[in-house]
Each structure stands twice: as C-alpha cells, then as structure tokens.
Amino acid sequence: MRELVGHGVGRKLHEAPEVPNYGRRGNGAKLHAGMVIAIEPMVNMGSKEVSQLDDGWTVVTQDGKPSAHFEHTIAIRAGQAEVLSTFSYIEDVLKERGIQH
C-alpha cells in the first residue's frame, strides 16, 4: 500500500517528514534524535489501491478485500527508538474475555 504514509508528530498531528511503509534502507529522510514519528503500515489481502470514504477519514481497499491498519508512535533518541504507543488496553480486554492472541 503506497498511497498512505506515516508522518512526523509535533505541534500538529501530521507533520513532515513523510514516513513511507516501503523503500530501500539508506534512502529517504534521515531520522535523528528528537524526532517523533508515526509509523502506519496497512496490510491488504488484495489490491494495494485504496479509496477514502465520504466521511473524509475512513480508507478502504478498492477491491473490498480485508485489510488491517495500525499506528505506532516512536520517539527517536540517541542510538535507539522508543515506542510511545501501546495496545495494552486491547490486550487487557482480550484477556478479560478469555481470548487468546
């Protein structure tokens, strides 16, 4: 899926740089300490082509096949990255319902 990209996070939700979910190592924007970025992969069972619904927010695959999208917010620190987002609340609900993942 190449139509959507991750992005920088700062004073505004969507800032530079664009963070594509594809490419070659060593190409693209250089990440450096102090940056906060959102990585937003979308995995599609079918076509990579997507459309945005009239609500201005929802994105669907054009072929209607299942897909999954998630976002992790990452802080770039000297020599490492720190994942700021968590899905622990989802894991807690699944655990409460006895659902194994």
Tens-of-pLDDT digits for all 101 residues of the chain? 577 889 999 998 889 999 998 888 888 888 899 999 999 888 899 988 899 999 988 888 999 999 988 889 999 999 899 999 988 888 899 999 998 76
- Portion of the chain with pLDDT greater than 70, in percent: 98
Instruction: Look up the pTM and report it.
Output: 0.75
pLDDT computed for residue 48 by the predictor: 86
Q: Which residue(s) pair with 76 in the sheet?
A: 81
From the list 34, 57, 67, 2, the residue with the least C-alpha distance to 18 is 2
19 by DSSP, 3-state: which? strand
